[in-house]
Amino acid sequence: MLFALLVHGGPGGVASSLAALRFAETLLAEGHAISRVFFHGDGAAHGNAMLVTPPTETDLPARWQSLARQHGVELLACVGSATRRGVLDAREAARQGLPVSSLREGFELAGLGQLVDAALRCDRLVSFGG
């Protein structure tokens, strides 16, 4: 079955965000496919390259990156949510006159149209933290 995931919660010790990652890892282990993970609201902070997870906690952004590398899962952070939280790719940073990009490798910024597209193409859209 083809899944798309929507993550509303932030990466810092939010139970629903950990559940989203574990759900995704289990789906792939069980032979399902994930087309796209859309990070919205506080979830967009998963794409922050400057975020450092304490060693006692699960490094959610790193685990998502590894999932994306191994399985070709698309990681999209909502551009509106991301910029509000200081997560900008090089293009957005230049547009805002800011000196550096802060988007984590493996993540892309995208508009909500990409969420609409994923929701209409997948068999199941599952939300976490909404």
Partner 1 sequence: MQASRRVLVICRNSAGAGTRAREALDIALAFGAFDQPVSLLFSGDGVWNLVAGQSGEATRSMERLLGALPDYGIEPLLADAESLAVRGILTEQLLPGCRLLDRDAVASLVDANELFFSA
6-31: burial string, b at 16+ Cβ within 10 Å, e else? bbbbbbeebeebbebbeebbebbeee
Q: Is 53 in the site for partner 1 (CB under 8 A)?
A: no
Q: Is 12 in the site for partner 1 (CB under 8 A)?
A: no
Known catalytic residues are 78
The answer to whether residues 121 and 2 touch, using CB atoms and an 8 Å cutoff, is yes
Helices 60-71 and 15-29 cross at an angle (nearest 10°) of 20
Give the C-alpha distances (Å, rounded to integers) separating 78 from 1, 27, 61, 62: 25, 23, 15, 18
Site string for partner 1, 73-92 (x = CB under 8 A): -------xx--x--------
Instruction: Tell me which amino acid residue 102 is.
Output: S
CB of 90 to partner 1, least distance (A): 24
**Interface of this chain with partner 1, residues 103 to 122, rule: CB under 8 A:** 111-113, 115-117, 119-121
Site string for partner 1, 23-42 (x = CB under 8 A): -----------------xx-
Nearer to partner 1, 93 or 112 (CB): 112
**Positions that interact with partner 1 (CB under 8 A):** 6, 8, 40-41, 80-81, 84, 111-113, 115-117, 119-121, 125, 127, 130
